Amino acid sequence: MSGASTTANDHSSLDTGSTALQMALGPIRFVGFWAAIALPFLYVPLLFDGIDGSRAIVFLGLLVANVVALRVGHDYRQA
d(CA 12, CA 22): 15
Q: Is the dihedral of CA 78, 22, 37, 52 positive or negative?
A: negative
Whether the pLDDT of residue 79 is over 50: the answer is: no
- pLDDT, position 6: 52
- pLDDT, position 30: 93
- pLDDT, position 31: 93
Write down the domain spans for the chain: 2-73
Mapping DSSP onto H, E and C, the string for 38-79 reads: HHHHHHHHHHHHCCCCHHHHHHHHHHHHHHHHHHHHCCCCCC
pLDDT per position as a tens digit, 20-62 = 888 888 899 999 999 999 999 999 988 888 888 888 999 999 9
